[in-house]
């Protein structure tokens, strides 16, 4: 009986210690995201063209896209984690390009290095894909047909979390270089995010 109680006590201590160590191994982030996007759209001059073949042209724009970002991080080590990141940003192209609605979604995965504390900076390198979609519109005497495409994407950057409660941090800022290989050329963009981080 004495050995049984001792063994039970050791199991409980081990289970409690394991749970305590695992409590901050999973983090969930959710918040606001802003992207200064780089969007290229192909257009046809059929509005000023008496007949085919009509001239075509590629236009570029940098719309302001607002949206959301969420990610899940698992930390096998105290300072190293694996992040699965998802985001969606929405807006419209300028009126001279047809005022087309546009949105960009990203789905990324990669390592993150953090420095735990009341103030916790972190850096990460995420890789995956992007989906871009725009509606149809008319501008500059050109017709802009609706289109959508998928391509490789990456996000390189970092940010700072500040502890607010026992298991809640505020992500003051996260800034990333967001690159995507959406046709017809590679896009170089900046994504900025902020929100809340929950630890489990």
Residue pair 134/143 in contact by the 8 Å Cβ criterion? no
DSSP 77: S
Confidence (pLDDT) at 23 = 52
Res. 152: pLDDT tops 70: yes
Q: Under 8 Å CB-to-CB from 34, ≥6 apart: which residues?
A: 64, 65, 66, 67, 89, 191, 192, 193
Q: Residue 22: pLDDT band by 50, 70, 90 thresholds? A: very low
User: What's the length of the chain?
Assistant: 200
Confidence (pLDDT) at 7 = 43
DSSP 80: E
| Stretch (H or E) spanning 156 | strand 147-165
Confidence (pLDDT) at 20 = 39
Domains by residue range for the chain, with CATH: 25-199 (2.40.160.20)
Highest averaged pLDDT of the listed ranges 37-41, 48-52, 76-80, 132-136: 76-80
User: What is the tens place of the pLDDT at every residue in 56-102?
Assistant: 888 888 899 999 999 999 999 999 999 999 999 999 988 778 788 99
Confidence (pLDDT) at 3 = 40
132, two tokens: 């871009």
Lowest mean pLDDT among 15-19, 34-38, 44-48, 139-143: 15-19
Res. 24: pLDDT tops 80: no
Confidence (pLDDT) at 167 = 93
DSSP 51: S
């Amino acid at each position: 009986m004495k050995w049984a109680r001792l063994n039970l006590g050791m199991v409980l201590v081990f289970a409690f210690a394991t749970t305590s160590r695992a409590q901050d191994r999973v983090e969930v982030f959710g918040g606001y995201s802003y992207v200064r996007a780089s969007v290229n759209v192909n257009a046809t001059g059929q509005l000023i063209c008496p007949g085919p073949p009509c001239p075509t042209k590629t236009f570029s724009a940098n719309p302001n896209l607002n949206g959301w970002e969420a990610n899940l991080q698992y930390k096998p080590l105290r300072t190293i984690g694996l992040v699965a990141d998802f985001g969606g940003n929405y807006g419209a192209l300028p009126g001279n390009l047809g005022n087309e609605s546009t949105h960009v979604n990203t789905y990324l995965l990669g390592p993150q290095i953090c420095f735990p504390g009341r103030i916790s900076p972190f850096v990460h390198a995420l890789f995956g894909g992007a989906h871009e979609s725009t509606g149809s519109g008319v501008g500059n005497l050109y017709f802009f047909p609706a289109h959508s495409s998928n391509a490789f994407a990456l996000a390189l950057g970092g940010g700072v979390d500040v502890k607010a409660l026992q298991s809640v941090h505020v992500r003051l800022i996260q800034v990333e270089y967001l690159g995507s290989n959406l046709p017809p050329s590679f896009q170089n963009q900046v994504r900025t995010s902020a929100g809340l981080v929950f630890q489990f």
